Amino acid sequence: MSRRRVVITGLGTVNPLANDVGGFWKGLLAGKSGIGPITQFNTSAFKVHFGGEVKDFHPEAQLDSKTVRRLDRFAQFAMLASIEAMRDSGLTDAKWSDPFRCGVMLGSGIGGLNEYEDQHSIYRDRGPSKISPFVIPKMIANAAAGNVSIHFGMAGPNTAVSTACASASNAIADAYRAIQHDYADVMLCGGAEAAITPMGLGGFCAARALSQRNDDPAGASRPFDRERDGFVLSEGAGMVVLEDLEHARKRGAPVHAELLGVGCTADAYHVTAPHPDGVGAQKAMELALRDARLNPSDVQYVNAHGTSTELGDVGETKAIKQAFGERARKLAVSSTKSMIGHLLGASGGVGPGGVRPIAAASRPAPDHQPATS
């Protein structure tokens, strides 16, 4: 049986540069940095005082106040990015014949950390009887996927993926397979994260994973730079609408690009450190090329995971050279984390950023339409 072709028909994002795709793209082209001092809480007791916060975020402008109150910040990001992606795809009026053929796969590395910390403070100060009945529905990792599906009435495959930095990328890969193997016609997928909290910042500081360039926040995230000293903690969401090509054609949908293949691996090496030789990432890219039926010479650009960490950037560089051979020297390679920092589980939906465990290959959209990634 021939594989169904999968295309991207909608894009949506909320991130440190902008709260929409147009503003994000404009900021990227201008080389603008979205990194600055953290404003959500007092950071004076921390070693790091900056991050990639989402700015001017007003979810009540698109969601009713009751819905906003019942969503953690990460789910609010997911909801607004999803609304933009669905609007971009032209599916906001539910232009599908069967809601069970339309699903949501949404990744998050941590989930509702804001809600957990807020409610723990209430428990500590006022006792267990004052804990909100919404604490569990707001903090669980699938809160975003579930609420997005409810909002749009998408009753098809619905999963929450939690694979750290690769969460959004794995969610997109799973959604791609769901369409390719005829489990769905439309999949809204990507990731969301909101871990700029006292525990989130403190935890990554304790792990010595973050850049400490407090005197230069805008220049702190520097993937592949000799003087890199760690990643910048950021927040946001990135969502895409994947669709069966024939389904998209029948409704005259805009097509941004075609997704050709994915490759997923694990280093099976260490809980936080990547394999020093990048063997897992190398294999993921090789599997993606094979799945896409492409040769290394067909690829022109790699959007790297590029976290700005000493071990990660070296391992990824080795992986690209090993996977592409001589072609690696002709590849254009960059990381959007230089401008937006590390969105953790949302990275693959915005960057994309999940090169370490997953690599994706795409080609210009069918019918010679412009391709966007």
The token pair that represents 212 in the structure block: 């400490």
Q: What pLDDT is stored for residue 367 in this prediction?
A: 52
Element (H, E) at 290: helix 279-292
Is the Cβ–Cβ distance between 56 and 72 less than 8 Å?
no
Q: What pLDDT is stored for residue 272 in this prediction?
A: 85
- Alpha helices by DSSP H, listed for 99-235, are 113-126, 135-139, 143-152, 167-180, 198-206
Q: What pLDDT is stored for residue 275 in this prediction?
A: 92
Q: What pLDDT is stored for residue 94 in this prediction?
A: 63
Is the Cβ–Cβ distance between 361 and 294 less than 8 Å?
yes
Best CA proximity match to 153, nearest among 200, 115, 210, 97 = 97
Q: What pLDDT is stored for residue 92 in this prediction?
A: 78
Give 118's contacts (C-beta < 8 A, 6+ positions apart): none
Give 269's contacts (C-beta < 8 A, 6+ positions apart): 275, 280
Best CA proximity match to 305, nearest among 264, 259, 258, 358 = 358
Q: Mean pLDDT in runs of 10 for the chain (373 residues)? A: 90 97 95 97 98 97 95 98 96 78 97 97 97 96 97 96 95 97 97 98 97 97 96 98 96 93 93 91 96 95 93 95 96 95 96 40 45 33
The token pair that represents 127 in the structure block: 């006792």
Q: What pLDDT is stored for residue 2 in this prediction?
A: 77
For residue 365, the 8-state DSSP code is P
Q: Taking the C-alpha atoms of 360, 363, 366 and 370 in order, what is their torsion angle to the nearest 10 degrees?
A: 110
Q: Catalytic residue numbers?
A: 165, 305, 342
First-to-last C-alpha distance (Å) of the chain: 29
Is the Cβ–Cβ distance between 85 and 239 less than 8 Å?
yes
Q: Side chain identity at 276, as an amino acid letter?
A: P
